Structure 1
Amino acid sequence: MIQGTRRWFRRNRTNFAIGGAVLGAGYLAGQYVLGKISEARQRMGEERVAKENLRRRFEQNQEDCTFTVLAILPTATENILDAIPVEQVLEELQRQKAERLARSVGPSEIGTSAAPSVADTADDDGGSSSIQTDGYVHASQVAIEGESVTGGAEGSQTASDEKKSKKTKAQLWSEMKIGSITRAFTLIYTLCLLTLLTRIQLNLLGRRNYLASVVSLAAPQPANEGSRINLENNDDDNFEQAYGNDFETNRRYLSLSWWLLHRGCIDLIDRVRGAVKEVFGLLNPREEITLEKLSELTLEVRKRVEGATEEERRTCKWLPFLLPPPSQESAVLHASGMSSSSSPTTTSSLRRLIDETSDLIDSPSFTHVLTLLLDAAFSHLVDTKISHLSYKIPLVSEDSARVQEIVGGDGVKAKVANSLAVFCRQAHGIGAGANNEYLERVEQVRHLEAFAAVVYSSNFEYESPVGEGTEGVAVQTGEGVEGGLGEGDVDVKEVESKKDDPFESAWGKALAKEDGKQF
Structure 2
Amino acid sequence: MIASTRRWLRRNRTNFAIGAGVLGAGYLAGQYVLGKLSEARQRMSDDRIAKENLRRRFEQNQEDCTFTVLAILPTATENILDAIPVEQVLEELQKQKAERLARSIGPSEIASTAPPSVADAADDDTKSSSFQSESFIHASQITGEASSSTGSADGGAEPNGERKTKKSKAQLWNEMKISSITRAFTLLYTLSLLTLLTRIQLNLLGRRNYLASVVSLAAPPPANMESTISLENHDDDNLDHAYGNDFETNRRYLSFSWWLLHKGCLNLMEKVRVAVKEVFGTLNPREEITIERLSELTLEVRKKVEGATEEERRTQKWLSYLLPPSDQEEYVLRESGMTSTEATSPTTTSSLRRLLDETSDIIDSPTFSRVLTRLLDAAFSHLIDIKISHLAYKIPPVSESAARVHEIVGDNNKAKVASSLAVFCRQAHSIGSGANNEYLASIEQVRDLEAFAAVVYSSNFEFESPEAGSASRPTTAAGEANRVSLANSEEPVMHEAGVQTGSEADTGFESAWQQALAKEDGKQS
Corresponding residue of 2:189: 189
> After superposition, where does 1:375-386 map in structure 2 within 5 Å?
375-386=377-388
> After superposition, where does 1:409-488 map in structure 2 within 5 Å?
409-465=410-466, 468-473=476-481, 474-475=485-486, 476-478=489-491, 480-482=493-495, 485-488=499-502
Render the CA deviation track for 1:158-212: whole Å, top value 9, x for unaligned: 79x9886000111101100000000000000000000000000000000011000
- Please, which of 500, 515, 519 is the counterpart of residue 509 of structure 1? 515
Corresponding residue of 1:365: 367
The answer to whether structure 1 residue 18 and structure 2 residue 18 are counterparts is: yes
Contact 2:379 / 2:439 at 8 angstroms: preserved in 1?
yes
TM-score, normalised via structure 1 length: 0.87
SS at the partner of 1:513? helix
The answer to whether structure 1 residue 123 and structure 2 residue 120 are counterparts is: no
Corresponding residue of 1:73: 73
Distance change (3 Å), C-alpha of 1:59 and 1:227: farther
TM-aligned CA deviation for residue 125 of structure 1 = 8.9
Distance in 1 separating the partners of 2:347 and 2:403: 49
Corresponding residue of 2:9: 9
Distance in 2 separating the partners of 1:102 and 1:435: 42
Distance change (3 Å), C-alpha of 1:375 and 1:398: closer
Corresponding residue of 2:404: 402
Contact 1:55 / 1:482 at 8 angstroms: preserved in 2?
no
- Please, which of 347, 350, 359 is the counterpart of residue 348 of structure 1? 350
Render the CA deviation track for 1:342-368: whole Å, top value 9, x for unaligned: 632111111100000000000010000
Equivalent position amino acid for 1:11 in 2: R
Contact 1:396 / 1:403 at 8 angstroms: preserved in 2?
yes
Equivalent position amino acid for 2:493 in 1: G
Corresponding residue of 2:55: 55
Distance in 1 separating the partners of 2:495 and 2:418: 46
Distance change (3 Å), C-alpha of 1:61 and 1:227: farther
TM-aligned CA deviation for residue 113 of structure 1 = 2.6
Contact 1:257 / 1:322 at 8 angstroms: preserved in 2?
yes
SS at the partner of 1:36? helix
TM-aligned CA deviation for residue 118 of structure 1 = 2.9
Contact 1:313 / 1:367 at 8 angstroms: preserved in 2?
yes
TM-aligned CA deviation for residue 471 of structure 1 = 3.8
Distance in 1 separating the partners of 2:107 and 2:218: 83
TM-aligned CA deviation for residue 221 of structure 1 = 1.4
Render the CA deviation track for 1:218-252: whole Å, top value 9, x for unaligned: 11112344999x9xxxxxxxxx99x9631101100
Corresponding residue of 1:100: 100
Render the CA deviation track for 1:4-53: whole Å, top value 9, x for unaligned: 11111111111111111111110000000000000000000110010001
Equivalent position amino acid for 2:399 in 1: S
What residue ranges of structure 2 are gaps of 5+ in the alignment? 127-144, 231-239, 468-474
Distance change (3 Å), C-alpha of 1:40 and 1:226: farther
TM-aligned CA deviation for residue 481 of structure 1 = 2.2
TM-aligned CA deviation for residue 516 of structure 1 = 4.1
SS at the partner of 2:398? coil
Contact 2:381 / 2:400 at 8 angstroms: preserved in 1?
no
TM-aligned CA deviation for residue 117 of structure 1 = 1.7
Contact 1:123 / 1:286 at 8 angstroms: preserved in 2?
yes
Render the CA deviation track for 1:34-84: whole Å, top value 9, x for unaligned: 000000000001100100010000000000000000000000000000000
> After superposition, where does 1:152-191 map in structure 2 within 5 Å?
165-191=165-191
SS at the partner of 1:289? strand
Q: Please identify, of 423-432 and 8-17, the stretch whose mean Cα deviation from structure 2 is larger.
A: 8-17
What residue ranges of structure 1 are gaps of 5+ in the alignment? 127-136, 144-154, 231-239
Distance in 1 separating the partners of 2:124 and 2:149: 26
Contact 2:98 / 2:146 at 8 angstroms: preserved in 1?
no
Equivalent position amino acid for 1:369 in 2: V
TM-aligned CA deviation for residue 139 of structure 1 = 3.7
SS at the partner of 1:285? coil
Corresponding residue of 1:223: 223
Contact 1:178 / 1:281 at 8 angstroms: preserved in 2?
yes
Q: Please identify, of 437-446 and 164-173, the stretch whose mean Cα deviation from structure 2 is larger.
A: 164-173
SS at the partner of 2:289? strand
Distance change (3 Å), C-alpha of 1:108 and 1:162: farther
> After superposition, where does 1:309-320 map in structure 2 within 5 Å?
309-320=309-320
Distance in 1 separating the partners of 2:413 and 2:72: 39
Contact 1:477 / 1:489 at 8 angstroms: preserved in 2?
no
Contact 2:460 / 2:509 at 8 angstroms: preserved in 1?
yes
Contact 1:479 / 1:489 at 8 angstroms: preserved in 2?
no
Contact 2:156 / 2:164 at 8 angstroms: preserved in 1?
no
Q: How many equivalent residue pairs? A: 476
Render the CA deviation track for 1:307-336: whole Å, top value 9, x for unaligned: 000110111110000000000000000000
TM-aligned CA deviation for residue 142 of structure 1 = 6.0
Identity %: 74
Distance change (3 Å), C-alpha of 1:489 and 1:31: farther
Distance in 2 separating the partners of 1:226 and 1:309: 66
Contact 1:208 / 1:463 at 8 angstroms: preserved in 2?
yes
Distance change (3 Å), C-alpha of 1:46 and 1:91: same
Distance change (3 Å), C-alpha of 1:3 and 1:356: same
Corresponding residue of 2:129: none
Distance in 2 separating the partners of 1:157 and 1:78: 29
Equivalent position amino acid for 2:255 in 1: S
Distance in 1 separating the partners of 2:519 and 2:82: 44
Q: Please identify, of 14-23 and 358-367, the stretch whose mean Cα deviation from structure 2 is larger.
A: 14-23
TM-aligned CA deviation for residue 157 of structure 1 = 6.9
SS at the partner of 1:414? strand
